[in-house]
């Protein structure tokens, strides 16, 4: 695992310790093997694939991994987690992130934000 | 002592440049079509690699798309290329499933674009398989290379 990614995951998991909008914590699942947290708002962070790589002299010199952060919330405003997640991404991804999509699931009544980020491995 | 420089035969070159200027939008569109095709092919390849599962609720939120949903993606053909938009000197397009129509899933008509989005981004009850995002990220460099190669080829053809 790239160290920057582990730092990002730690930061996302630590979101609950700092100044939070309320005392409720944001359950955060890391990658697909964890079970889904059962809560009003929860997040998922995962590394998805290798986005790009720099090769030199038959050796892989640098790699960029692309990952995503998903926030599911029953609240329209994301329960205040949006700005906190954006802050964590800015701190750990050097600004190489973007809000990829924002959707509403009619069946479950959940709002879904998806951020993608790239991290050097 | 001042030197005098004189270039002769410039008329033909200025003619050629004028011709190239007229042809520039066409060249850009042709080259962009080539690049967009590479990205669309990669997306279609990624759609073939989507894993499916018959068990709808067995894995809880780790549900995978059903074979019918994958079939909808595949039968929609290659991911389409949108109509080219010319704005000023630039030309742009989008690649995706937005014009792929509808598919029948469980007796209901569902837009293929929505199915593709649900698989690509995941939902609260389905694991994400980012085949579109992966294809775009990984073929971006290849596509821009192909575009510049095509531009060079077409310009050389005109300036012959």
Q: What's the CATH code of the domain at A81?
A: 3.30.2000
Total domains in chain A come to 1
In a domain, B1, yes or no: no
Domain carrying residue B113 = 10-158
SS3 B100: coil
Are the Cβ atoms of B130 and A112 closer than 8 angstroms? Answer: no
Are the Cβ atoms of A108 and B134 closer than 8 angstroms? Answer: no
Residue whose C-alpha is closest to residue B123's, from A22, A14, A33, A106? A106
Are the Cβ atoms of B125 and A108 closer than 8 angstroms? Answer: yes
What pLDDT sits at residue B79?
64
- State yes or no: pLDDT of A102 exceeds 80: yes
> pTM of the prediction?
0.78
What mean pLDDT value characterizes chain A?
A: 79
Question: How confident is the model over B63-98, as pLDDT tens digits?
Answer: 778 888 888 888 876 667 777 777 777 788 888 887
Mutate to test the interface with B, among A64, A116, A117, A118 (most CBs of B within 10 A): A116
ipTM: 0.77
Both tokens of residue B65? 């798309």
Q: What's the mean pLDDT in B16-21?
A: 74
User: Is B111 within 8 Å of chain A by CB?
Assistant: no
pLDDT tier, A33 (very low <50, low <70, confident <90, very high otherwise)? very low
pLDDT tier, A114 (very low <50, low <70, confident <90, very high otherwise)? very high
SS3 B127: coil
The A residues from 20 to 39 touching B (CB cutoff 8 Å) are: 32, 35-36
Q: CB neighbours of A45 closer than 8 A, spacing ≥ 6?
A: A8, A9, A12, A28, A29, A30, A31, A67, A68, A69, A70
Domain carrying residue A8 = 3-120
User: Is B144 within 8 Å of chain A by CB?
Assistant: no
Q: What's the mean pLDDT in A58-74?
A: 88
Burial (CB < 10 A; 0-12, 13-18, 19+), residue B4, is: exposed
- Tell me the chain A residues in contact with residue B122 when contact means C-beta distances shorter than 8 Å: 70, 114
Mutate to test the interface with A, among B106, B124, B143 (most CBs of A within 10 A): B124
Lowest mean pLDDT among A27-31, A104-108, B128-132: A27-31
Total domains in chain B come to 1
pLDDT tier, B140 (very low <50, low <70, confident <90, very high otherwise)? confident
The total of other beta-carbon atoms located within 10 Å of residue A43's CB is: 24
In a domain, B4, yes or no: no
Q: What is the four-CA torsion angle of B7, B12, B16, B21, rounded to 10 degrees? A: 70
In a domain, B3, yes or no: no
């Amino acid at each position: 695992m790239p160290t920057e990614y582990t730092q990002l995951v730690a930061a996302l998991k630590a979101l609950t310790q700092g100044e939070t909008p309320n005392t409720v914590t944001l359950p955060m699942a890391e990658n697909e093997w964890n079970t889904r947290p059962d809560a009003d708002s929860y997040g998922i962070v995962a590394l998805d694939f290798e986005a790009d790589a720099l090769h030199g002299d038959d050796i892989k010199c640098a790699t960029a991994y692309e990952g995503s952060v998903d926030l599911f919330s029953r609240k329209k405003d994301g329960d205040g987690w949006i700005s906190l997640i954006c802050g964590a991404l800015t701190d750990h991804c050097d600004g190489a992130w973007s809000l990829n999509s924002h959707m509403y699931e009619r069946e479950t009544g959940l709002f879904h934000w998806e951020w993608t980020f790239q991290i050097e491995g | 002592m001042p030197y005098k420089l004189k270039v002769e035969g410039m008329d033909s070159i200025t003619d050629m440049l004028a011709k190239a200027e007229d042809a520039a939008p066409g060249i850009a569109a042709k080259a962009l079509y080539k690049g967009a095709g590479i990205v669309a092919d990669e997306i279609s390849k990624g759609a073939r690699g989507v894993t499916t599962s018959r068990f709808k609720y067995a894995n809880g939120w780790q549900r995978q798309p059903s074979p019918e949903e994958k079939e909808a993606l595949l039968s929609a053909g290659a991911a389409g290329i949108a109509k080219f938009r010319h704005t000023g000197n630039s030309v742009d397009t989008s690649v995706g499933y937005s014009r792929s129509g509808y598919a029948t899933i469980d007796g209901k008509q569902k837009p293929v674009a929505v199915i593709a989005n649900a698989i690509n981004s995941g939902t609260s009850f389905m694991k994400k398989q980012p085949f579109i995002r992966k294809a775009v990220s990984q073929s971006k460099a290849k596509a821009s290379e192909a575009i510049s190669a095509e531009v060079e080829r077409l310009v050389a053809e005109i300036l012959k």
